Amino acid sequence: MHRTRVKVVEDALDANNTIAAANRADFDRAGVRVVNFMSAPGAGKTALLERVVADLPGVRVGVLEGDVQGSMDADRLAGLHVPVTQLNTDPSFGGECHLDANMVRSAVPSLALDEIDLLVIENVGNLVCPAEFKVGEDARVMVCAITEGEDKPLKYPLMFRTCELVLVNKIDLLEHLEFDLDRLLYNIDQVHPNVERLLVSARSGVGIEAWREWLLRIAAREEVGV
Amino acid sequence: MHRTRVKVVEDALDANNTIAAANRADFDRAGVRVVNFMSAPGAGKTALLERVVADLPGVRVGVLEGDVQGSMDADRLAGLHVPVTQLNTDPSFGGECHLDANMVRSAVPSLALDEIDLLVIENVGNLVCPAEFKVGEDARVMVCAITEGEDKPLKYPLMFRTCELVLVNKIDLLEHLEFDLDRLLYNIDQVHPNVERLLVSARSGVGIEAWREWLLRIAAREEVGV
């Protein structure tokens, strides 16, 4: 029973990888760089996008919004006059907890790839399954809000291990929390030594310039990651 | 393709319900009441348990800890001299993002049901899939931290709709956030009208007495829910 289950999971991930490679080929052909943007619910992904997507000189940004239900984040971003496509994962009972390559593939025709240079895919808020499914991205960014505690890298290691950038968000709240920032950074290094990380606050603006520059590096095809 | 997928999901949930009913029968036979305790990562489930599990007069509590990896929360609770069983979901690639009835069933033999009155199952931190899988519980409690924003009920409706109690946690941070508490409570009522909710802070102790009393009502087999 257990071996069968593992085999089913492996087959599903194999199929996903095949489709992710097809997505990647389409993105490459169109000259579009792609970021898979992930976090727990409420860590601040949309707020961090609102801060930068309309202000990347020379880079036309598009956003693919993944949500179980609704289009609240897409509506927020559309107000910035950025092309946004909504992808909902709820045809089944409670909805899928992640985007997979096939869902992203289904959205590709509506993405107008020839009109953008950088596509940000805002995944479903979840620290587990989104990390398991490639969607055709060039780089992965995850947001870890300090309000979530110092232990998250150790409890959700795959997410931290497979990303090229960790945005440590809500840093403006540091003085109001019993939070050991050094402990969080130490835990990040335990699962992904020296991964690039930025201390940011979507609210106060701290670190936002560095986050903007990181996206410009991605769009310029510079190497990122360790 | 899509219909096939929905069918597979329905079959899996059918099988899960059958096993959940078997778990429930075992719990009933042993006279144990069971709470399925859920939230997003870092919302404060373990901290809220630490506040109450060792201090429920006349009620012997046991905890089943669900995590992708590690035993950090179990270690914290074991320090309170409460029996804790750890269940890790990571035999496959990135780990399962939820507990299902069969995982809980595998842990039942180690739970010493004859020595407890109330079992709290701390689920994996995730607002999607844990809500889809019954595990044999009498009641569901979810934690929603105000640091996660007002929109979570609308984005993860099944979780809010299927619980008997919402703990609105980290209420001590209210003055430091741009957070509209009335908007959150309104959104909760949109998806689950009049569901019981408590404003709490594991840090300051606000609302903890009411949380303790709610667990005592569960243990005393009082009716809860709307």
Look up the ipTM and state it.
0.92
Return d(Cα A50, Cα A123) in angstroms, integer: 15
Distance from CA of A101 to the nearest CA of B (A): 15
List chain B pLDDT tens, one digit each, 226 residues: 455 666 777 788 899 999 999 999 999 999 999 999 999 999 999 999 999 999 999 999 999 999 999 999 999 999 999 999 999 997 656 689 999 999 999 998 888 999 999 999 999 999 999 999 999 999 999 999 999 999 999 999 999 999 999 999 999 999 999 999 999 999 999 999 999 999 999 999 999 999 999 999 999 998 887 6
CB contact under 8 A, A126 and B131: no
SS3 call for B177 = coil
Averaged pLDDT of chain A: 93
User: What's residue B106's pLDDT?
Assistant: 93
Chain A residues in contact with B10 by the CB 8 A cut-off are 93
| A130 part of contact set with chain B, CB < 8 Å | no
User: What's residue B114's pLDDT?
Assistant: 95
Q: What percent of chain B has pLDDT over 90?
A: 85
pTM: 0.94
User: What's residue A1's pLDDT?
Assistant: 40
Query: B188-219, pLDDT tens digit by residue?
Result: 999 999 999 999 999 999 999 999 999 999 99
| B125 part of contact set with chain A, CB < 8 Å | yes
Return the residue in B7, B90, B92 with the most chain A beta carbons within 10 A, the one to mutate for interface testing.
B92
User: What's residue A51's pLDDT?
Assistant: 97
Strands A118-122 and A84-88: unpaired
CB contact under 8 A, B41 and A127: yes
Query: A23-40, pLDDT tens digit by residue?
Result: 999 999 999 999 999 999
User: What's residue A94's pLDDT?
Assistant: 67
Return d(Cα A149, Cα B42) in angstroms, integer: 6
* Identity of the residue in A72, A124, A151 whose CB atom sits nearest the CB atom of B128: A124
Looking at this protein, which amino acid is placed at residue A194?
Answer: N
Chain B residues in contact with A92 by the CB 8 A cut-off are 5-6, 9
User: What's residue A132's pLDDT?
Assistant: 94
Return d(Cα B30, Cα B140) in angstroms, integer: 20
- Mean pLDDT, 10 residues at a time, chain A of 226 residues: 64 91 97 98 98 95 94 93 91 81 93 95 97 97 98 96 98 97 98 98 98 97 79
Return d(Cα B136, Cα B28) in angstroms, integer: 10
User: What's residue B4's pLDDT?
Assistant: 65
Name every residue whose Cβ is closer than 8 Å to that of residue A175 and which is 6 or more positions away in sequence.
none
Radius of gyration of chain B (CA): 17
Token pair in block for residue A94: 């409670």
Looking at this protein, which amino acid is placed at residue B219?
Answer: A
Return the residue in B14, B46, B75, B148 with the most chain A beta carbons within 10 A, the one to mutate for interface testing.
B148
- Report how far apart, in Å, the C-alpha atoms of A60 and of each of A18, A45, A65, B225 are: 28, 19, 17, 50
First to last CA, chain A: 38
Name the residue among A47, A67, A128 with its Cα closest to residue B156: A67
Task: Name the B residues in 6-25 with CB < 8 Å from any A CB.
Answer: 6, 9-10, 13
Return d(Cα B182, Cα B195) in angstroms, integer: 15
Chain A residues in contact with B179 by the CB 8 A cut-off are none
Name the residue among B35, B33, B31, B45 with its Cα closest to residue B140: B35
